[in-house]
Amino acid sequence: MTRSDARELAAHLIYELDYTDETPSQAIASRLERGYYDELAAENELYTQRPNAKQMTYITACVEGVAETRQELDATISEFSVGWKLSRISRFAKAALRLAIYEILHVDDVPTGVAINECLELIRKYEDEEIVGFVNGILGSFARSLKEGKS
C-alpha cells in the first residue's frame, strides 16, 4: 500500500464518519480490524492490501485529526467555496477537502502541493470532472491565502 492509498483509505473513513455515530477510533477499528476490510477487497482494489504500521499511524492521525478540527476545516472550506454553501458540496468532496486542508495545516511532512494534487486525484476518481475544478479553486485560493499570510 502506498502513501496515496493510505490517504484514500483515510478519506473513505472520514467520509463514513458523516454516516455514523462512531468515534474515529471505533470507525477505524470496525473498518480495518473486523473482516469488513476483507469484504471490501472484492469491490475495491484499494482494500486488497492492508496498511502497515506506519500507514496505520498516518491514517489514524489524519482521521482523528480531521474529526477533532472539523469545525475549523469546514469554516475554511466555507470561506473559500465562494457562492456555495457547505451543504451543497458532496460528502466525498467534503471528506477529501477536509483531509487536504488538515494535511496542509497539521501534517509537516506533506507539502501543500502534494496535499492539493492528491486531493484532486481522489476527487477525479470518485466525482464528476467539474467538481475537480471546483475543489482545485478552493484549495488554490486557500494555499495562496496561506502564502500571503491571510489565513
CA–CA separation, 107 and 66 (whole Å): 11
Query: How many other C-beta atoms are found inside a 10 Å radius of the C-beta of residue 36?
Result: 12
Q: What is the pLDDT of residue 34?
A: 56
pLDDT in tens, 49-65: 889 999 999 999 999 99
Pick the CATH number of 3-147 from 3.30.930.10, 3.50.50.60, 3.30.465.10, 1.10.940.10: 1.10.940.10
Min mean pLDDT across 32-36, 72-76, 79-83, 135-139 is at 32-36
* DSSP character at residue 89: S
pLDDT, the chain, mean:
93
Which pLDDT does position 36 carry in this prediction? 78
Greater confidence (30 vs 121) lies with 121
pLDDT of residue 38: 81
Q: How confident is the model at residue 84 (pLDDT cuts 50, 70, 90)?
A: confident
The C-alpha cell 506533506 sits at 110
Measured distance CA(121)–CA(4) in Å, rounded: 9
Residue with the bigger pLDDT between 104 and 42: it is 104
Backbone angles phi, psi at 69, to 5 degrees: -110, 20
